[in-house]
Structure 1
Amino acid sequence: MKNKLLLLCLVLSLVLVACGSKEEPKQTTDDADDSQGLLLDDKGNPKDTIQVDEKTEKAVKDTIEKNRKSLNDGNVDEYIKTIDTDSKQLDVKEEEKVLKDTLENYKFDKKISNIKFLEKKKDQIVVFYNVETTAHPKNGSEDEKKSFNEVVTLVKKDGTYKFSKMAQAAI
């Protein structure tokens, strides 16, 4: 049972964090990981947030929702459409393979709340949110629940935002 739990945690981390297998070049101060140095208040909210216009907010939230819904529905093709094919962190082919393999054995119930905007540069936006995920094993084993904060970077391509980076921190 412990081996199954360890495997489930590993697979969930791969799927939920979307750790691609692409090698990243050494980071400079300008492109350092967006999750580093994130200060949270006593309620778990980021201290430094920004306001964005309604159009940007809706577009970003639509992409986040499409990503969440496609995972819950087990729709790999729609999930992959939310990922930037030019990402230095996320490898679309690897994401697709891991997700397909995982969805053979699990159904997910992912919930997102508390979306906060952290940074906006030209066609790139950094967002924080809380995630609650339940993995339902298709073999009837006990459900596994996980809660965490996620910091994602989305880039705008052809008028649509796509996930470019993802980082998670357990809460």
Structure 2
Amino acid sequence: MKNKLLLLCIVLSLVLVACGSKEEEKPTTDEAGDKHGIKIDEKGNPKETIQVNDKTEKAVKEVIEQNRKSLNEGNVDEYIKTIDSNSKQLDVKEEEKVLKDTLKNYKFDKKISNIKFLEDKKDQVVVFYSTETTAHPKDGSKEEKKSFKEAVTLIKKGDTYKISHVEPYAI
């Protein structure tokens, strides 16, 4: 049971993958790549990054920060606002339900660092960053800390971006 709860916490900190999606093996070598063809080195960092304009960089980093901060504060409504309601991977209603249930038992401390831009198309940006998440059980049992990296696809909606796809990478 504890392992199931830990797995649930990790998945939440990754911006939950929708129910029913296949679990994919996490790439860890430089031969590995995701659906975007992202190549990562032996340390789990992307081999190729790009520069984006200041406006795009600011807008993307704002939504990533809003997502992180709202998870840490347990603010489900603000967290859900960061997710693309048309995502093929993330089901907003399921995300909301699972997050509410999980936050009854856990508080999270998620930190994000080393944001790198990998792709910038018309209405889509892909970023790669390091995440360190600690799940604090409200019952006082031992906290669990996990570090990982993720490639996140954000879709432009009006003047802001929404998280549409999350692909975790092992370190």
**Which category of TM-score, normalised to the shorter sequence, fits these structures?**
0.7 to 0.9
| Fraction of identical pairs, as percent | 67
Q: Determine the structure 2 residue equivalent to 1:15.
A: 12
Residue equivalent to 1:77:
77
Residue 23 (structure 1) shift: 6.2
**Matched AA of 1:148:** F
Distance 2:21 2:137 in 1: 31
Deviates more, 1:12-21 or 1:159-168: 12-21
Q: Distance in 2 between matches of 1:16 and 1:157?
A: 23
Q: Which ranges in structure 1 are unaligned for 5 or more consecutive residues?
A: 25-33
**1: CA distance between counterparts of 2:148 and 2:76?**
22
Backbone CA RMSD of aligned residues: 1.7
Give the CA deviation at 1:169: 1.4
Structure 1 residue 43: Cα displacement? 4.6
Is residue 108 of structure 1 aligned with residue 105 of structure 2? Answer: no
Contact 1:14–1:98 under 8 Å retained in 2: no
- Which amino acid is 1:84 matched to? D
Alpha-carbon distance in structure 1 between the residues aligned to 2:34 and 2:136: 29
Shift of 1:120: 1.1
Q: Post-superposition shift, 1:40?
A: 2.6
Unaligned runs of 5+ in 2: 23-32
2:121 alignment partner in structure 1:
121
The answer to whether the 8 A contact 1:130-1:147 is kept is yes
Partner of 2:92: 92
CA distance in 1, matches of 2:9, 2:90: 16
Runs of 4+ in 1 over 2 A off after TM superposition: 21-24, 34-45
The question of whether the paired residues in 1 share the 8 Å contact of 2:44 and 2:169 is answered with no
- The answer as to whether partners of 1:22 and 1:89 remain within 8 angstroms in 2 is no
Distance in structure 1 (CA, Å) of the matches to 2:46 and 2:135: 27
> Matched residues in 2 for 1:136 and 1:12: separation?
10
* Deviation at residue 22 of structure 1 after TM alignment: 6.6
Distance 1:117 1:104, change over 3 A: same
Quick one: distance in 2 between partners of 1:42 and 1:91? Answer: 32
Partner of 1:28: none
Evaluate the alpha carbon distance shift between residue 23 and residue 106 of structure 1 in structure 2; reply closer, same or farther with a 3 A threshold: closer
CA contact (8 A) 2:13 2:110 kept: no
Deviations 1:115-138 (A, max 9, x none): 000011101000000000000000
One-letter code aligned to 2:46? P
SS in 2 for 1:163: strand
Aligned to 1:66: 66
Matched AA of 1:49? T
- The structural deviation recorded for 1:11 is 0.7
Q: 2:48, 2:58 → 1: CA distance?
A: 20
Shift of 1:41: 3.5
Q: Between Structure 1 and Structure 2, how many residues are aligned?
A: 159
